[in-house]
Each structure stands twice: as C-alpha cells, then as structure tokens.
Amino acid sequence: MTLALALRGIDGLVVGTDSRVNSVEVDQSAGQVRQVTRDTSEKFLQVNRDIGVMTYGLAEPGYSGISRLAEEAKRKRFPSFQDIETAARAIFQTEFNNWVTSQPQPEIAAQGVVGFILAGYDSVHTNQFKVTSFQSAEGFQVKEIVIPTFLAAQYHIAHYLAGKLFYPEMMVEQLKQLAVFLMLETMSAEITVGGPIQLATVTLRNGFQRITEEEIHELIRTCQPKIQTTRKLLLGLWQENS
C-alpha cells in the first residue's frame, strides 16, 4: 500500500508518496507464502514542465501507467491539462486491463485497486493549480479534486492530522514540512507505508520540481521537534481525561 498526497497552497502544490511496495511470494521449496516488503518503488514521475503524476495501490499497473503517460506526453506534447487527463484515462485503463489479462486468475485480479493522481498547473483553461484522481474501482473516470488536501490509500492518520494543521493560506515552503510530517506520522503506525519519502513541488516560477534527498532529510530533521511536541500534547490530553 502507500500514502499519496497532494496539498494545494496559495502559491503552488506539494505532492508526495512513500516508496514501499508490499507483495506476496511463494517459496516453492518450503511450500510457504510470505509477505515481502521493498522500499525501492518509484511512484511518481514528471509529465511535463508543470504537471506530475502519482500512483498508489497495485504496483505493476501503477508504474506502467505513469511511465507510459510520461512517455506519451514527451512524444505528443499535449497542449493542455485537459488533453493530458484524456490521454491519462485511456492509458491507465489499458495498462490495468493488460495487467489483469496477464494474471493467472484474471477474475480475481480485476478486483484489485490501483489509483492515479494528476497534479499541476492548468495554464490553458483555468490558470489554476489543479489535482485530478483516477481509480480502477470507478473505471478511471476523471475526478477533479476541489478540496485543497487530497490523500489516498493509507490516508486515515494523515487525514486527521491535516484536518487539524492545514489552513488555506499555507505556502509551498510550509506545505513541504506538513507533507513530511504527515508521512512520518503515518509510517510510525502503518507498516505498509515506509521507505524513502518522495516529494515534489509545482509552482508558477519553477514548474514541477523534485525535492532532493538532501532537502527531504533536512525536512525530516526539522519535523522531529514538531512530532515530539504533538505527542506530548496528546499525552497531556489523555492524562487530563483519565
């Protein structure tokens, strides 16, 4: 599983995911099934200067979907966010269908969940930062996200904390810290979320930009006092009501 998020502030977007992939492998010699965790997954890619795409859920159709969209966008140079949405839906559906038919039990595989998030700046129609969602359970219909905080997959902890900490006037620099805080707190309680954090920003000046590993480490360091303070406050409230 994963935690995928898109946070919209007054001067841009912050998008992010973890890098953990959980899968089941069969040990033929021992006749045992085991859970395997890898923290090496690439869950988002840049589509063009102003737009990025993320995936969550099933790893194989997710990665093939975002990879093919990035390749198509580079080759065809789609003129608008809307054109990319249209292409994305067809690509995601095709990659999911191809993955389903390749599985030993397609009927069961078809019930699997994979989702995608397209996030960036719409310079043609709305001149606004925009986030849209596509999910296999909904036939990959294009769903525009109007709320400023969008969280998917293992979102429950992050959703609660974002509801307490986010405010509409936040800027990208603040949202980067919030994104890391939400990731770290989710990782501390949910074992299917983990590994190196992947983050990017989208701004008018710089477009889509990956945040470097060094900067993410600095953001993690900055978040530590905030995490400690939050837990002390929660513990204090617990003790007051005991």
Q: How far is CA 101 from the centre of its chain?
A: 26
7 bridge partner residues = 14, 149
**Total domain count, the chain:** 1
Residues in the chain: 242
d(CA 23, CA 36): 5
Please choose, from the candidates 191, 171, 184, the residue with its C-alpha nearest in 3D space to the C-alpha of residue 221.
Answer: 184
> Residue 184 belongs to what domain range?
3-26+35-240
DSSP state letter for 137: G
Contacts of 34 (CB under 8 A, 6+ apart): 24, 25, 26, 27
CATH code (residue 64): 3.60.20.10
53 bridge partner residues = 45, 118
d(CA 149, CA 13): 10
The answer to whether the CB of 165 falls within 8 A of the CB of 178 is yes
d(CA 206, CA 87): 24
pTM: 0.92
Residue 95, token pair as written in the block: 């990659």
Residue-level pLDDT, tens digit, the chain, 242 residues: 789 999 999 999 999 999 998 765 555 565 555 566 788 889 999 999 999 999 999 999 999 999 999 999 999 999 999 999 999 999 999 999 999 999 999 999 999 999 999 999 999 999 999 999 999 999 999 999 999 999 999 999 999 999 999 999 999 999 999 999 999 999 999 999 999 999 999 999 999 999 999 999 999 999 999 999 988 888 888 888 77
d(CA 135, CA 63): 14
d(CA 17, CA 33): 28
Sign of CA dihedral 137, 138, 142, 148: negative
